[in-house]
């Protein structure tokens, strides 16, 4: 696609076609240098300010025991306490892409900011709707690269062909490679591929697509990303850890809490996506 910040109608159609076929698609350069500067600077300031209790609680390097993710943990739900987080969760460009992809504007339910500093672990392969429990319908991620991402600094990987898979009950991840505990094995005949992205690109993918990332093995490069989750407009039930549910105009939508544990029953314990 040719988009520079504002996708054209033909860009949107191409995104929709590719998403329908593959369950994922990249909108290249959806965010421009000014957006990136705003995002980097705002989340950098939040980190310097020492965190936000309940959302992210960094510890000083000397108390981190050598784990870079203790010094730079991911920020959960910045849109709940920060205007920049909320603005980019509800961004019009993202809304337009998602509407083209899904046919209707979805509802916004989660934002996260990952610093992923050099030397940090990744996040083992998983499927997002295992956690969100959006029903009927599914969730969709908008994963925006805030730094250029490649296999050296822990790019996201996706498993093409898994986009229509049922939710698979996770196994236990290798805690030397992953900071999360769940791991979904790659189904026979499929394989995980890296998604190389430039800062400002946004990857959209559905809630069944198996995805995750390896460690950031670079010595100097962070792999920052702004990650949002949405649920399709037909969703009636959702895990209540993702409430409040927002329309793109910021108004709230009342959905029913889904506490079923999904198809994996006991495996499903807490919100970790």
Ligand X SMILES: O=C(O)CCC(=O)C(=O)O
* Count of residues touching ligand X (by CB under 6 A): 12
Find the part of the chain contacting ligand X (CB under 6 A) among 86-94, 96-104, 194-202, 208-216.
Answer: 208-216
* Per-residue CA distances from 31 to 36, 65, 93, 118, 198 (Å): 7, 36, 9, 24, 10
For residue 113, what is the enclosing H or E element?
Answer: strand 107-114
CB-facing half-sphere around the CA of 83: CA atoms within 13 A? 1
Nearest approach, Cβ of residue 126 and ligand X (Å): 6
- The answer to the question of residue 211 lying near ligand X (CB under 6 A) is yes
- The answer to the question of residue 225 lying near ligand X (CB under 6 A) is yes
In 146-265, the DSSP E strands lie at: 156-158, 171-172, 182-183, 193-194, 202-206, 211-213, 225-231, 237-238, 245-246, 252-253, 256-257
Q: Given the complex with ligand X, which of 131 and 248 has the nearer CB atom?
A: 131
* Per-residue CA distances from 28 to 15, 32, 67, 72, 112 (Å): 10, 10, 32, 27, 20
> What is the pattern of x (binds ligand X, CB under 6 A) and - over residues 143-162?
-------------x------
Nearest approach, Cβ of residue 56 and ligand X (Å): 15
Find the part of the chain contacting ligand X (CB under 6 A) among 3-11, 210-218, 237-245, 263-271.
Answer: 210-218
Closest CA to 120 of 74, 78, 75: 74
Q: How far apart are CA 42 and CA 85, in angstroms?
A: 9
Q: Given the complex with ligand X, which of 30 and 141 has the nearer CB atom?
A: 141
> What is the pattern of x (binds ligand X, CB under 6 A) and - over residues 96-135?
------------------x-------xx----x-------
How many CB atoms lie under 10 A from the CB of residue 43? 22
Nearest approach, Cβ of residue 122 and ligand X (Å): 5
Find the part of the chain contacting ligand X (CB under 6 A) among 42-50, 132-140, 193-201, 206-214.
Answer: 206-214
Q: Given the complex with ligand X, which of 52 and 225 has the nearer CB atom?
A: 225
Q: Given the complex with ligand X, which of 12 and 149 has the nearer CB atom?
A: 149
Nearest approach, Cβ of residue 148 and ligand X (Å): 14
Closest CA to 153 of 199, 183, 120, 175: 120
What is the chain's Cα-based Rg? 17
- Interface ranges with ligand X (CB under 6 A): 114, 122-123, 128, 141, 156, 211-213, 225, 227, 273
């Amino acid at each position: 696609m040719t988009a520079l910040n504002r996708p054209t109608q033909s860009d949107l159609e191409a995104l929709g076609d590719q998403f329908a076929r593959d369950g994922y698609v990249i909108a290249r350069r959806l965010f421009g240098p000014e957006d990136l500067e705003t995002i980097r600077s705002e989340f950098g300031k939040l980190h310097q300010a020492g965190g936000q209790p309940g959302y992210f609680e960094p510890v000083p390097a000397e108390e981190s025991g050598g784990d870079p993710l203790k010094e730079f943990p991911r920020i959960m739900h910045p849109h709940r306490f920060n205007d920049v987080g909320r603005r980019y969760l509800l961004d019009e460009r993202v809304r337009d892409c998602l509407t083209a992809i899904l046919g209707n504007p979805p509802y916004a339910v989660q934002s996260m900011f990952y610093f992923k500093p050099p030397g940090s672990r990744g996040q083992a392969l998983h499927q997002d709707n295992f956690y969100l429990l959006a029903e009927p319908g599914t969730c969709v991620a908008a994963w925006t690269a805030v730094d250029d991402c490649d296999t050296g600094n822990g790019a996201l990987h996706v498993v093409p062909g898994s986009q229509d898979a049922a939710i698979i009950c996770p196994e236990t991840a290798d805690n030397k490679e992953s900071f999360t505990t769940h791991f979904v094995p790659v189904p026979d005949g499929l394989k995980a591929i890296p998604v190389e992205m430039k800062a400002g690109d946004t990857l959209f993918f559905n809630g069944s697509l198996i995805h995750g990332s390896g460690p950031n093995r670079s010595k100097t490069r962070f792999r920052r990303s702004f990650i949002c989750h949405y649920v399709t407009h037909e969703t009636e039930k959702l895990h209540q850890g993702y409430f409040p549910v927002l329309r793109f105009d910021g108004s709230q939508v009342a959905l029913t809490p889904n506490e079923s544990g999904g198809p994996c029953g006991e495996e499903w314990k807490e919100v970790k996506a």
